[in-house]
Amino acid sequence: MNKVKELQKKIEIVRLELDEALLQKDKFDMYYQKSTELDKLIEEYLEKRTQLRRVFMLVDFRIKPTEDDLLMYNFLKYYNLPVTIIATKADKIGGSKKEKCLRQIMDTIDLVVGDDIIVFSSVTKLGREEVLKKIQDLLEETI
């Protein structure tokens, strides 16, 4: 009788694990569907937005650009859009490591002529004027 109860407990555990796995799969499917819809919206926007002059792409200055960063940059290049990479959170990196972090971004993302990187910190305001100047220049070009 003990073996039957032990087997029933194991079956119940497996059933609960299966329920959890199915729930996780449902969550993944919903996320994937939403992200695919978002991807379509972004792609449609990039294709049809003729007024779009430049994209400001944010990357984390502290870490090597991720696969998603590379994918996004290449996606933007596919549409021949000029890109300014805003390397955020620069205040979190000490002075001696800043050059290394910048080099890491430049080595990972093969910038096309006309694209640039602005090292930025919302805390110290590093790069703020440079970003504003770039936006101002773009606005003046369209007027």
Terminal C-alpha separation, the chain: 86
* pLDDT, average across residues 5-12: 73
Distance CA 59, CA 117 (A): 10
pLDDT on residue 25: 60
What residues contact 62, with CB distance under 8 A and at least 6 apart? 89, 92, 93, 101
Q: Which helix (H) or strand (E) holds 8?
A: helix 2-48
Distance CA 74, CA 68 (A): 10
* pLDDT, average across residues 73-100: 90
Closest CA to 79 of 118, 56, 52: 52
pLDDT at 56 over 90: yes
Distance CA 8, CA 23 (A): 22
A 10 A CB-CB count for 83 gives 20
Phi-psi region of 80 (alpha: psi -120 to 50; beta: other; left: phi over 0): left
pLDDT on residue 18: 61
pTM, entire model = 0.72
